[in-house]
Structure 1
């Protein structure tokens, strides 16, 4: 049994590892979604002219890891109070979004967002959007599994995110 979850939370390089290492994950693919240009390239998306957001598509077995669990992992990888990008990645192509595949996923995402808002964990409003999934286009091969291909560059890119996550999430994990 396979389902798909699609999450955007800044640079897709930093969004793969947290999901890739969970049981029940078949694949995590870096790509682009939500835009108006078919099969965009990284250069096109980076130019902010296609309307796409960098995202990851996660193929998973819901009998091993639930969509609810994936959403919880997602929150712990992002700054849900920053609508204009994530960490050092700025612009609409880096905005935080949960893209739902069906009504059940939408309900789970909305309930989880409400719980995060009600928790008081963040002083600023939770601005992560919850939107219907659109066409997902895999990114170029060099973007796939980037944390494995170039661990030093990945660590450099991930450092600011890691500091934020430690400050905001570690205390309750």
Structure 2
């Protein structure tokens, strides 16, 4: 009898938590193959994120707009043990409230295909009380579908000019979770 078979059943796959999806299936069974996505996405991932960050640092006057179209797009995960989706297409809307009692707030809602390769709807707010030239630094709290926890709190940096901006999110490696850097492009609507 084959040691991989017992009473006509196949041996269960290894239960490495880093290689499993939330449903207990190996990632290879529920995630698209990394090689299939690597083509142009890999090229975009390696040059676009630094280019967008550099573009956002140009000495432009602060944005006059308060409503923004947000295009979700890129992420890079620090732990590559899992087959992450690092091209995350999506659209959202943001409204800035700069003259609040507690500093500038931005309310945000949208949709993206997240790093787990799942559809994700989100709604939340970003508080950025620290200003460093065109950069604003703070936190982004949101409710989002398609993640192991629906409540997320992330450090955030926003840089913007009159018509364009960028949102950068960064999370360090945490126990049981890969850290990442993500980017969204903002386009002024008014």
Greater helix proportion: 1
Higher RCO (CA < 8 A, seq sep 6+): 1
Is TM-score (shorter-chain normalized) higher than 0.5?
A: no
When the two structures are superposed, what TM-score results if normalisation uses the length of structure 2? 0.26
When the two structures are superposed, what TM-score results if normalisation uses the length of structure 1? 0.27
Q: Which has the larger radius of gyration?
A: 2
Greater strand proportion: 2
